[in-house]
Amino acid sequence: MIEELLNHLLIGVYALNVSFLLLMGIHAYLACYQFLRARKTRQNLGFPLFSDPPSVLVQLPIYNEHSSIEQLLDSVNQLDYQADRLRVQILDDSDDETSHVVDEYLKTRALKFQFSHVRRSIRTGFKAGALKAGLELDPSAMIAIFDADFRPGRDFVLKAVSRLIQDPDLGLIQGRWEYINAGASFWTRFQAVGMDGHFAIEQPARAWNGYFMNFNGTAGVWRRQAIEEAGNWEGDTLTEDLDLSYRAQLAGWKLDYALDLPCPSEIPESIFAFKSQQFRWAKGSIQTLIKLFPRILKSSATLMQKVEAGFHLTHYLIHPLLVLNFLIGCYILFHPELLLQFPLEYFFVFILFASTGPSMLYQLSQKALNKEVPGGIFFYILMIALGCGMAWNNTRAVWQAITGVDSPFVRTPKAGNLKRKYLPTRNLQFLVELSLAGVGIIALLNATTGFYFLVPFLVLYTMGFLMISIGSFTEWISALDFGNSLTRSLSEN
């Protein structure tokens, strides 16, 4: 009796999970449609000229960026803008030699603009705190923000400001990220295509159709008034950019996305660095959901705007559902009698439909950017597998956000000019991923021919967990100081 109740409960949970994943898949199809529909009206928007440039403050929030900071400063120093109307603020919270590198740069280089090196004794609020502290030191009307691994083109700020001047109700122009190291490995190529899906399809689909969109934390220009009327930067989530974006739009400001305003950046080449970045984004997104979604529901936004905001902010909930579905799928393989009691094959038709939605979105993003992906459909299948492999990492982040576990803002290490390579924080969570892969392998070996509709999905999950865990393990043992790495990892776990 108890086992029967448990089986019914598991199938019920499975059905609910599949329903949510199906909605997310439909949402991916809808984003493609919304992008294609709105693109027609945006193709000739252009960047209007202006004669009286407003004051611009370029903020560069950095923390231990020895390998990247000089390249960033070079890019900013070459911006096309009236010299007496643009100031640069280096918000430096570093505790390594980065500060010395900045000082030497400012002393020895011919500077086109006025640079100020702002140091704080305590990293209160982390990046959000640094940006807020910087605003108190400068009254400029427009605020451009670039992280250490970004290389804005000469006309980036000029073009962004022109759009802001054109529309006084516009609070932000977000540029499109490009990647200088996308071809470094299969791993970076996988990330680049995934990010293109966001920057080439999802962001324009939201912005150009009047839905809530988000600032991506860098490569964007804000109107100062929008920041202030939104309540300024707050450091109570790990995604201060997403948080401020929604608060600004709730305060009545419009945010826009410029597909035609690219900014080169660097993709993490380390699996641990990518995991850390994804963990921060996943946890911060759910923190923002908890913080702001009640306000969104009570706001004057339209029903469709609220629905889209719900899809946007709950995106990372996919990952704990993927882990649950994987485990329940393995359980089904060990209990074939469930196939006689429930029409489970229909669930997997829905899962197939849901999983092809993101694949179509990724393919459309490459077409929109005139890119080609080696391997075609096999590459996208592998992307789905790797996405499933990240499920445990992001599930931990979601759980911490829901349970209120505090964690610091952990920067993503950048390779930069490789004079010094920052190492990402390593931990032993890959052992859980390896265990999940082992569970999948055992379950698949137990499968019979009657599970033809379930096996392919579990193969994708198992492949993903196996690739992520093996890649993580390889990086973990490659640490030069193996003993200290082991001690640190054990203490962090």
Q: Do residues 391 and 319 make contact, with C-beta atoms less than 8 angstroms apart?
A: yes
C-alpha closest to that of 290 among 318, 314, 311: 314
- At 346, which amino acid appears? Y
Q: Which of 147, 149, 196, 241 is catalytic?
A: 241
3-state secondary structure of 220: strand
Q: Which of 93, 147, 149, 243 is catalytic?
A: 93
3-state secondary structure of 291: helix
Question: Exposed (0-12), middle (13-18) or buried (19+): which is 85, by Cβ within 10 Å?
Answer: middle
Q: What is the C-alpha separation between 460 and 441, in angstroms, rounded?
A: 11
C-alpha closest to that of 242 among 200, 195, 289: 289
Q: Do residues 392 and 436 make contact, with C-beta atoms less than 8 angstroms apart?
A: yes
Q: Is 241 a catalytic residue?
A: yes
Q: Cα separations (Å) of 488 from 330, 415, 427, 478?
A: 33, 22, 8, 14
C-alpha closest to that of 211 among 177, 240, 249: 249
3-state secondary structure of 14: helix
3-state secondary structure of 174: strand
Q: Is 147 a catalytic residue?
A: no
Which two structure tokens, joined as six digits, stand for 71?
């390249």
Close Cβ partners of 61 (under 8 Å, ≥ 6 residues apart)? 91, 93, 127, 130, 131, 134, 145, 147
Question: Exposed (0-12), middle (13-18) or buried (19+): which is 469, by Cβ within 10 Å?
Answer: buried
Q: What is the C-alpha separation between 339 and 14, in angstroms, rounded?
A: 13
The catalytic residues are: 93, 241
